[in-house]
Amino acid sequence: MRKEHDFLGEVPVPDDVYYGVQTVRAIENFHITGSRLDGDFIRSMALVKQAAAMANMKSGRMPKKIGQALLQAADEIVSGEWLDQFPVDPIQGGAGTSVNMNMNEVLCNRALEILGQPKGRYDLISPNNHANMAQSTNDVFPTSMKVCLLMKGRKLSRVLQELELELLAKEDAFKDVLKMGRTHLQDAVPVTLGQEMGAYASAVHRGRERIERSLSGLHLINLGGTAVGTGLNAEPDYIRSVAEELAARTGEPFRTASNLMDMTSNTDSFADVSCAMKCIALVLIKMANDIRLMASGPRCGLNELKLPARQPGSSIMPGKINPVMAEVLDQACYQVIGNDLAITLAVENGQFELNVMEPVMAYNLFRSLECLTNASRAFVTHLLKGLEANDSQCQYWVDHSVGVITALLPHIGYEKAAFLAREAYDSHRPVRDIVREHHILTDAQIEHFLSPWSMTHPGITGEGEDTLPISG
């Protein structure tokens, strides 16, 4: 053990770890979630520290030897080393101070090692004076959140694009599969299965655009604002260059906010991202549930879709196969919606010049992005790519539905159509047979008006004899 101290006193720290006294205190104080910090978040904070070190060296405040050692230590963390040296709980008091100091201590002790010095020699390289130079938790933590959210958000956007493209492929594959559309869970009018898939694709596209718009709002950062957004203890040259340094390292167009106090005290950009995720989650739930219903059965349900068999569906019922990939997508989306409430409460609970609830925002935002990304990818891979239409069953429901009579309204009028619909309901016979028996339309007209194309494409009315005068 080595002895380290802060203004509260002396604390023993294991010799083999790179963290220090403040991290040890955080480990003792916060046993909340039982989980560790997100790896992408650790890497993101290391990138922020690199940008800060470079900007401080450019301003002339950071000694080059120390700055270069800190840069190397941060590079190692960005590449995935030393992630086990960040044991603090994601949810913690102090607005993220424990995470920031954990990073500062690891950077300094590794930098000391690089320079041939023992861990804990903070008189040479200090977590507060060097790793945290011109910084505060209050600008480092939210900026690191934004770097991480953009990193994870780009992954989600790519997966949602894969989902959209696969749905568009299914739109084309199923373009000739006629089926019954339903409203109020009741038979409505015919649609094609391809049209339904195209509608899902359109909604996913809109959700993906909403996600990307919310991510673009994260490019405005408060790095350089330090404690409350006034820039206390930060050189003007540092404030001017630190966002540029971060942009160069991440490939994202970060820029310094014109009002650093606003960007330090308000966290609405995080609510924007969460809300966008909630909206796409609602779209995905609706799609997954539609698919579950269309695949219900197979003998005693709708049985319009055939899902890939992923696993036995019951510990007691032999041969049962469940729509597990649609179910897991639903559950992941429920988690996102629940996380959104926690984020909303945290965002509204900022007071004066700082919102101290950012750790719980970060925890839930990261989890939501991971849930949506992984569940959407699994849905595409394990369900959508192998999805098949049960053409004959779809056609059977159309043939035995009374809803198709709606297509005859422009030609025979509502009253006559309602009379024929009632007869079809009562006799349990197809609409085509009832219309044919009453000699209201010719066989050719029946086939034309009730053809898949006529019923599923607006504006198709036919010409000449196809359009009849409406009479009682």
Helix 137-173 to helix 193-216 angle (10° resolution) is 160
Helix, strand, coil distribution of the chain in percent, nearest 5: 60, 5, 30
For the chain, counts of helices (H) and of strands (E): 17, 8
Would you kindly state where each structural domain of the chain is located, as residue ranges? 2-133, 139-392, 402-466
The model's confidence at residue 457, banded by pLDDT at 50, 70 and 90, is confident
Local structure of 189: helix, strand or coil? strand
Determine the straight-line distance between the first and last CA of the chain, rounded to whole angstroms. Answer: 97
Give the residue numbers annotated as catalytic, written as ranges: 314
Contact residues for 318 (Cβ-Cβ < 8 A; gap 6+): none
**Which CATH code, of 3.60.10.10, 3.30.300.30, 3.40.190.10, 1.10.275.10, is assigned to 2-133?**
1.10.275.10
In the block, residue with structure tokens 């969460």: 274
**What's the pLDDT tens digit per position in 339-388?**
999 999 999 999 999 999 999 999 999 999 999 999 999 999 999 999 99
E strands along 62-195, which residues? 178-183, 186-192
pLDDT band at 315 (very low <50, low <70, confident <90, very high): confident
> How buried is 330 (Cβ within 10 angstroms: 0-12 exposed, 13-18 middle, 19+ buried)?
buried
Judge whether 57 and 67 are in contact, CB under 8 Å: yes
CA distance 8 to 15: 21
What are the tokens at 300?
A: 């005693």
How many whole angstroms separate alpha carbon 347 and alpha carbon 68?
37
Round to whole Å and give the CA distance between 411 and 414: 9
Give CATH superfamily name and number for 139-392.
Answer: Fumarase/aspartase (Central domain) (1.20.200.10)
CB 32 within 8 A of CB 118: no
- Mean pLDDT (whole number) for 258-274: 98
Q: Tokens standing for 298?
A: 């197979």
Longest dimension (CA), the chain: 101
Structure tokens at 345: 């409460």
Query: Which pLDDT score is estimated for 130?
Result: 98
- pLDDT band, very low/low/confident/very high, at 465 (cuts 50, 70, 90): very low
Give the whole-angstrom CA distance, residue 466 versus residue 162: 43
The reply to whether CATH 1.10.40.30 applies to domain 402-466 is yes
- Give me the residues paired with residue 256 across strands: 221
Pull the structure tokens for residue 364.
């839930």
Angle, to 10 degrees, between the axis of helix 97-114 and the axis of helix 64-78?
110
How far, in Å, CA of 359 to CA of 142, rounded?
A: 9
Same fold, 2-133 and 402-466: no
Q: How far apart are CA 257 and CA 260, in angstroms?
A: 6
Return the number of other C-beta atoms located less than 10 Å from residue 353's C-beta.
14
Helix, strand, or coil (residue 179): strand
Q: What is the mean pLDDT of residues 273-284?
A: 98
Tokens of 157: 């956007």
**Number of other CB atoms surrounding residue 151 within 10 Å:** 18
- The 10s digit of each residue's pLDDT in 80-136 is 999 999 999 999 999 999 999 999 999 999 999 999 999 999 999 999 999 999 999
Neighbours of 189 (CB within 10 A): 17
Instruction: Look up residue 101 and give its two tokens.
Output: 């100091």
Structure tokens at 80: 């995935």
Burial of 146 (0-12, 13-18, 19+ CB in 10 A): buried
Average pLDDT of the chain to the nearest whole number: 94
238-265: average pLDDT = 98
**Pair of tokens at residue 401:** 């539905």
The model's pLDDT over 424-433, given as tens digits with 9 standing for 90+, comes to: 889 988 888 9
* Average pLDDT, integer, range 257-285: 98
